[in-house]
Amino acid sequence: MTKLWQYLGRPAHFQFRLALALSAVSGASAVVLLGLSGWFLTASALAGLAGTGLIFNHLFPSAGVRAAAFTRVLSRYGEQLIGHDATLRLSASLRPQLFSQGARATRGLSPMASADLSLLLDDVEAAEGGFLRVIAPAASIISGAVAATALALATDLLLAVLVVLAFVLAAWWLPRCAAKKSRIAAAKHASQIDDARERVARLVENAVELDVIGAMPDTCERARKSLETQQVELDEMERPFRGLGAFNTALGTALALAFLARATTGAVDLALAAGTGLAVIAAFEACAAMVKAVDAAPRSEESASRLLRRLEAPGAIGEPKQNASVQLGTVFPLKFDDLIVTAAERAPRIGPVSGQIVSRSLTELVGPSGSGKTTLAEALMRLQPIQSGALTIAGTPIDRLRVATVLEKMAIAPQFPSFLPGSLYDQFYLADPAVSETQIWEALEIANATDFVTESAKGLKTLFDDGDGRFSGGELRRIGLARALLAGPQILVLDEPFAGLQPTLAEEIARRLTRWATDGDRAIILLQHAPTRFEWTGLRRNLISLAPSLP
């Protein structure tokens, strides 16, 4: 956890240290409060019995009792508040960095797999919670234990050693054993909850079918039973921790009694023994919280180191330093020779392919699905690394160009475009933060998307929320096309733009794209199963065929 924190440049280091100190103070003051009270009472009684009550210095101890009480309240409040503040500051530093580093390490356009994403979110949550769940409670308990041990040392050496051993047992060994047992149960539970979740999800999805064939009651019963088993296994996870708190208190009480027993022999001062006894009881009672801390510690640690690996991962595409890079006036000609790329590290090789893209041209990249058209196009845009071969842009080898420099001149409209949550307008804002409404409508016009956007009740304010099927697949693809146009590219990459469109509509879009391309220093790369039959008047046509790739 500390390594991750150091990597991030020790965010909120002042707050973390202060919160840690306050945790220690609050743990110790709770123990001191009871210990001092016990000692004060007994000493007062002894003084009273001896008739020396009036000369007994009661001012310091009674003030001490009150001071310990206030310290405990204030330090606890401060610890919680500052600890949360520090955690939130950590989060504000961690999450943006994870995002931007993740973006650098991503290959291609495809969204992160949902399993990976949920693992990442769990890791973020566990690592961020590490301080509040593990470090702060541990500091509080340990400082309480130290305070109690110090009192014990002042009372009796032998018993002090016993107290230390008992602390190791109560605050470290037992919780560790319990956490171990619980983790074994957790693995079993994980598979059971998956089963139950899948049963319920399928039941909900297939409800109508189950209803029609009359299988609903039986299916409900099976889902309910699976959930019942899941509950029992969840309880298995909690069971090892149960009663541990009560055991700690009993252990503390036993030790306190041992101090009193020692006092009966006259070997130790009675008032001191009584105070120590109460302090020990309080310290052991606090140990109960250690259980959860010990349980959470390895998880936070693992999560933090996974996050650190993610942050330290090299970018997917090698690029020169900011100041060593060359700026581009134009991308033409974009030349590639014997280019070989792969979609992932051990994926089949694609290529070698060679070609050249010049201004006012249409390059058709054809091949069956799985032949690597998309990966190759992404590699030309520098969204995928190149395994071998040469790629030069306007005569400059790509290793002297930053990825962003290339992307300034190239944009892609994917076959299955994905969108950020937000409005339709937000999608276009992503392509160009300075975009005007006129520009948006122009781009929508080229993509033949004005009709359905106008028809949508909220127009550009229509929201894109997950699972909101407001637009059909074909409509989404046209919105994706408009978005790519708004990025202002010289080379526009279109991935299967006409699949599933009515022929007349497809032809109309092709005509408008031709006009767009001939309107300036522009070119189009078209990814298709087979060459198109449209005219593309005024564009130099260029065909590159990809064979199905071999493993």
User: Residue 294: CB partners within 8 Å, gap ≥ 6?
Assistant: 172, 175, 176, 178, 179
Query: CA–CA separation, 282 vs 278, rounded Å?
Result: 6
Using CB under 8 A as the binding rule, the residues of this chain from 383 to 402 that contact other proteins are 383
Pairing label, strands 388-393, 361-366: unpaired
Q: By CB under 8 A, which span of 136-144, 273-281, 442-450, 534-542 interacts with other proteins?
A: 273-281
| φ, ψ at 391 (rounded to 5°) | -135, 120
Q: Which of 62, 305, 325, 532 binds other proteins (CB under 8 A)?
A: 62
Q: Which of 2, 110, 191, 518 binds other proteins (CB under 8 A)?
A: 110
Q: Which of 10, 104, 176, 335 binds other proteins (CB under 8 A)?
A: 104
| Pair of tokens at residue 139 | 């500091």
Q: Which of 73, 344, 505, 530 binds other proteins (CB under 8 A)?
A: 73
Using CB under 8 A as the binding rule, the residues of this chain from 13 to 32 that contact other proteins are none
- Residues 525 and 409: beta-carbon distance below 8 Å: no
Q: Which of 397, 473, 531, 548 binds other proteins (CB under 8 A)?
A: 473
DSSP string, 211-245: HHHT-HHHHHHHHHHHHHHHHHHHHHHHGGGTTHH
Q: Write down the least CB distance from residue 75 to other proteins, Å.
A: 10
DSSP string, 349-388: EEEEEEEEE-TTEEEEEE--TTSSHHHHHHHHTTSS---E
Vertex 442 angle, CA 440 and 446, to 5°? 115
Q: By CB under 8 A, which span of 64-72, 156-164, 179-187, 511-519 interacts with other proteins?
A: 64-72
Q: Which of 13, 99, 436, 531 binds other proteins (CB under 8 A)?
A: 99
| Burial grade of 389 (CB within 10 A; 0-12, 13-18, 19 or more) | middle
Q: Write down the least CB distance from residue 357 to other proteins, Å.
A: 18
Query: CA–CA separation, 449 vs 413, rounded Å?
Result: 14
Query: CA–CA separation, 364 vs 546, rounded Å?
Result: 11
- Residues 171 and 145: beta-carbon distance below 8 Å: yes
500 binds other proteins (CB under 8 A): yes
Using CB under 8 A as the binding rule, the residues of this chain from 190 to 229 that contact other proteins are 193, 196-198, 200-213, 215-217, 219-221, 223-224, 227-228
Computed from CA positions of residues 416, 418, 419, 421, in that sequence, does the dihedral angle turn out positive or negative? positive
Query: CA–CA separation, 288 vs 163, rounded Å?
Result: 16
169 binds other proteins (CB under 8 A): no
Q: Which of 291, 334, 362, 487 binds other proteins (CB under 8 A)?
A: 487
Query: CA–CA separation, 533 vs 517, rounded Å?
Result: 17
Q: By CB under 8 A, which span of 136-144, 272-280, 385-393, 438-446 interacts with other proteins?
A: 272-280
Query: CA–CA separation, 462 vs 453, rounded Å?
Result: 9
238 binds other proteins (CB under 8 A): yes
Vertex 19 angle, CA 14 and 22, to 5°? 125
Q: By CB under 8 A, which span of 319-327, 348-356, 406-414, 512-520 interacts with other proteins?
A: 406-414
470 binds other proteins (CB under 8 A): yes
Using CB under 8 A as the binding rule, the residues of this chain from 359 to 388 that contact other proteins are 381, 383
- Residues 415 and 495: beta-carbon distance below 8 Å: yes
Q: Which of 28, 307, 431, 539 binds other proteins (CB under 8 A)?
A: 431
Q: By CB under 8 A, which span of 169-177, 330-338, 358-366, 463-471 interacts with other proteins?
A: 463-471
Q: Write down the least CB distance from residue 200 to other proteins, Å.
A: 5
162 binds other proteins (CB under 8 A): no
Q: Write down the least CB distance from residue 540 to other proteins, Å.
A: 26
Size of the site for other proteins (CB under 8 A): 138
Beta bridge partners of 366: 528, 545
- Minimum CB distance to other proteins smaller for 70 or for 543: 70
Q: By CB under 8 A, which span of 261-269, 293-301, 513-521, 524-532 interacts with other proteins?
A: 261-269
Q: Write down the least CB distance from residue 229 to other proteins, Å.
A: 11
Q: Write down the least CB distance from residue 461 to other proteins, Å.
A: 14
Q: Which of 455, 520, 533, 551 binds other proteins (CB under 8 A)?
A: 455
8 binds other proteins (CB under 8 A): no
Using CB under 8 A as the binding rule, the residues of this chain from 77 to 96 that contact other proteins are 77, 80-81, 84-85, 88-89, 91-92, 95-96
Computed from CA positions of residues 195, 196, 201, 206, in that sequence, does the dihedral angle turn out positive or negative? positive
